């Protein structure tokens, strides 16, 4: 399977997916740390991919997503955005229902 197919499959199979540097318990950059805190603050399980351990994804995802930076949050197959957007949505109370709906929909 080529890397774009792998990325598509990851996005399709996970209702909430965070591409980040490191892991939620050990983020490797400040932007990933802040994004993780916001997503975890929504209280739902989510998947993540450590792009530092997956250089092919790190190289190809920005082209696929048309989004140059990490972290990247995908909810229900759609790119939500990066760290600033994630935090802004969390602070406005917009991220929590978006993530909750995606998780409920996937569980149905």
Instruction: Mark the binding-site residues for glutathione, compressed into ranges.
Output: 21, 58, 70, 83-84
Distance in Å from the first CA to the final CA of the chain: 29
Q: How far apart are CA 34 and CA 19, in angstroms?
A: 13
Count each helix (H run) and each strand (E run) in the chain, helices first.
5, 6
Binding residues for [2Fe-2S] cluster: 29
Sign of CA dihedral 84, 89, 90, 91: positive
Binding residues: 21, 29, 58, 70, 83-84
Is residue 76 within 8 Å of residue 105, measured between CB atoms? yes
């Amino acid at each position: 399977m080529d890397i774009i197919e792998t990325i598509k499959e990851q996005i399709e199979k996970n209702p909430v997916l965070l591409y980040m540097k490191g892991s939620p318990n050990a983020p490797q950059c400040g932007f990933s740390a802040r994004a993780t805190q916001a997503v975890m603050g929504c209280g739902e399980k989510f998947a993540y991919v450590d792009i530092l351990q997956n250089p092919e994804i790190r190289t190809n995802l920005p082209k696929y997503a048309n989004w140059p930076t990490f972290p990247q949050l995908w909810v229900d197959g759609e790119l939500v955005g990066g760290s600033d957007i994630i935090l802004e949505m969390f602070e406005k109370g917009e991220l929590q229902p978006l993530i909750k709906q995606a998780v409920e929909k996937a569980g149905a």
